[in-house]
Structure 1
Amino acid sequence: MSDPVSPFRLVVDASTAGQRADRALADAIGTVSRSRVKALIESGNLSVNGKTVCEPAETLRDGMEMVLTFPAPTPARPVAEQIPLNILYEDDDLIVLDKQAGLVTHPAPGNETGTLVNALLGHCGEGFEGIGGEKRPGIVHRLDKDTSGLMVVAKTAMVHNALSEAFAARDIDRAYLALAWGLLPAEGEFDGSIGRDKRDRKRMAVVGSGGKVALTRFKLIEPYQAAVSLIECRLATGRTHQIRVHLSNAGHPLLGDPVYLRRIPAAARGLSQDAKEAALDFPRQALHATRLGFIHPRTKKQLSFETAPPEDFQALKKRLIG
């Protein structure tokens, strides 16, 4: 089934009143599945009487005017774009870079362009296409959009396979710096299994069954006013949002986390006014991949890299000191 070329308009009458929006629209269009219509509505592509509605189960009333828009078709393969990259090391086999916060790793619905993959295609040229897959060429591991820090990217199939195996076997030295609410102990670990949150499929959660085993080790680097902790985290496993989920589940969500920080933490009361404002206004999760080490698959030499957090992270730390 294909999307209509133009926005689809439907005025609710007696035959459709009382139905769900997604069902009525799918039936009326006839060439688009209900699941596709549901996804479009959830993405903000439906307006009802001129106002955006994101609830597929919206009950229709007689006289409502609905307009469902369809995004422009996206290219089957990512396109090359000239996007600046902070490359720390490069040879014929791989690239090590310090990813800026705000850069999505690979194309996905809602982020088809402007990603790290688009930037790598622009940097490496045509020979880079297809290394590890059409949609994610070169990508061995990923960082969340708003997480900054070190990544390694493969430029050949051999190195892609070797690095993928090394990540799977946990033969990679990786460490993250994080600012978490509350005062954590000098060191410790979280070992709750992680799976999809049953109440919100866009979130991950520590689950009792059906999840994947996850282990995060941490050590306290510096406390700030007994309200925020700068910690180093090391992953024994590599699950989606692992650090963010484990810390949130333990009552120590990351500063600025837009997904796992749902209310103002009680620990915020322990900060000075300026520090509190800085912590509560930080626009992204305060997480930085600070260290990356691995054995080069071709040369067999040990490569190690370390970077400091970006300027916004550093500025937040200074204001937390008070």
Structure 2
Amino acid sequence: MPRTQIVTVTPAESGQKLLQFLERRLGGVVPRSAVQRWIRKGQVRVDKGRAKPFDRVAVGQAVRIPPYAGESGEPAPLAGPLTIVHKDDRLLAIAKPAGLAVHGGDGIDDSVAARLAASFADADFAPTLAHRLDRDTSGLLLAARTYETLRELNERFASGRVDKLYLAWVLGRWPEPDKTLLEDRLEKCGEAGSEKVRTGSGKVALAEAVCLVRGEVRSLLAVRLFTGRTHQIRVQLASRGHPVAGDGKYGPSGQRTDLRLHCFALRPGEPTLTLPPPWSGPWAVTGEAMTAALALLDSERQPVSFR
């Protein structure tokens, strides 16, 4: 953003907290810490007056946004467009490629959020992502097109009422013949920036897995996620001796493949949204395997032993 902007709160944006309003308008290009600093120093003005981060904005208010540029002095060019696989009045479903961050931040100029903001720069409400995927994970991301939809999606994800189904190639022969409950406690450890997640204590992590293709070198799993812990699928599978192929953080180093983890299906209500993985060659997933994976979404959930 090369100069100061004055933006007007639209009816679709009314009722948001100022901090959220700014983050969505900026599309994740500006770090949250910088936005908070603007507000604290009075560089952000609402109807020419100072405001607090959690003040609610109202329709018709004029919000002053100060200039912001990266180290080069200009915003970094976007690397490419977004692929939208579903679009209606309430939400968007986006095909996130592996390697693209969901949100920007220090040292990250290109992201799904930034591309989303650029693609819908004239929208009354800047479409806002309702959840995340790891940078190296591909697959479906949902973005709300209204504030009401965003609040609904946030509540659904928080309460576990969005069905989430992943496909993962893992190393080795998966031993379980039937649907398997993955039940662990996970906690973060290590320094910020290089932290990892380990099993043993911490927050409960729940998922179910079923094997679609069983081989001696690799196996294809469908994983239904019930909780959304950091690196959950990667850690739970690695702790059972079958890390996700291409995972250098929780699996063996030196693998000559990208991370083979893909968010295949999401069901925030109706309909169920799906996105076939972009894998080819020995990693390709057949239509028959994808059909079998979807059956896991409709199967009865197994009882858990702890919470």
Which residue, 192, 210, 214 being the options, matches 2:205? 214
Indicate yes or no: 2:81 matched with 1:91: no
Over 3 Å counting, the alpha-carbon distance change for 1:79 and 1:165 in structure 2 is farther
Counterpart contact for 2:163–2:226, Cα < 8 Å:
no
% identical equivalent positions: 31
Q: Distance in 1 between matches of 2:124 and 2:100?
A: 19
SS at structure 1 position matched to 2:129? coil
Aligned runs of 1:213-292 on 2, under 5 Å? Answer: 213-224=204-215, 226-263=216-253, 280-282=255-257, 284-292=258-266
| Cα drift, residue 168 of structure 1 | 1.0
How many residues are paired up?
Answer: 214
| Cα drift, residue 81 of structure 1 | 4.3
Indicate yes or no: 2:180 matched with 1:188: yes
Q: Distance in 2 between matches of 1:161 and 1:80?
A: 31
Which residue, 143, 150, 154 being the options, matches 1:160? 150
| Cα drift, residue 91 of structure 1 | 2.3
Q: Distance in 1 between matches of 2:137 and 2:165?
A: 13
Counterpart contact for 2:182–2:208, Cα < 8 Å:
yes
Name the counterpart of 1:52: none
| Cα drift, residue 204 of structure 1 | 3.0
Which residue, 104, 111, 117 being the options, matches 1:115? 111
Q: Distance in 2 between matches of 1:307 and 1:168?
A: 23
Which runs of 5 or more structure 1 residues have no equivalent in the other structure?
1-70, 132-136, 265-279, 296-301
Q: Kindly report the root-mean-square deviation, in angstroms, between the aligned alpha carbons of the 2 structures.
A: 2.7
Counterpart contact for 2:188–2:195, Cα < 8 Å:
yes
| Cα drift, residue 80 of structure 1 | 8.7
Q: Distance in 2 between matches of 1:182 and 1:174?
A: 24
Over 3 Å counting, the alpha-carbon distance change for 1:229 and 1:157 in structure 2 is same
SS at structure 2 position matched to 1:244? helix
Q: Distance in 2 between matches of 1:79 and 1:128?
A: 24
Name the counterpart of 1:305: 273
Which residue, 156, 173, 176 being the options, matches 2:166? 176
Name the counterpart of 1:36: none
| Cα drift, residue 79 of structure 1 | 8.2
**Relative contact order (C-alpha < 8 Å, sep 6+): which is higher?**
2
Indicate yes or no: 2:121 matched with 1:125: yes
Counterpart contact for 1:204–1:240, Cα < 8 Å:
no
Q: Distance in 2 between matches of 1:155 and 1:74?
A: 31
SS at structure 2 position matched to 1:192? strand
Amino acid corresponding to residue 212 of structure 1 in structure 2: K
Q: Give the TM-score normalised by structure 2.
A: 0.63
Amino acid corresponding to residue 281 of structure 1 in structure 2: R
Amino acid corresponding to residue 213 of structure 1 in structure 2: V
Over 3 Å counting, the alpha-carbon distance change for 1:192 and 1:207 in structure 2 is same
- Rg comparison, structure with higher value: 1
Counterpart contact for 1:80–1:121, Cα < 8 Å:
no
Counterpart contact for 1:188–1:219, Cα < 8 Å:
yes
Name the counterpart of 2:99: 102
| Cα drift, residue 163 of structure 1 | 0.2
1:124-170: CA deviation from partner (whole Å, max 9, x where unpaired): 115467x6xxxxx6121111111111111012111111001011111
Counterpart contact for 2:171–2:245, Cα < 8 Å:
yes
| Cα drift, residue 109 of structure 1 | 2.2
Over 3 Å counting, the alpha-carbon distance change for 1:108 and 1:102 in structure 2 is same
Over 3 Å counting, the alpha-carbon distance change for 1:318 and 1:161 in structure 2 is closer
Q: Give the TM-score normalised by structure 1.
A: 0.60
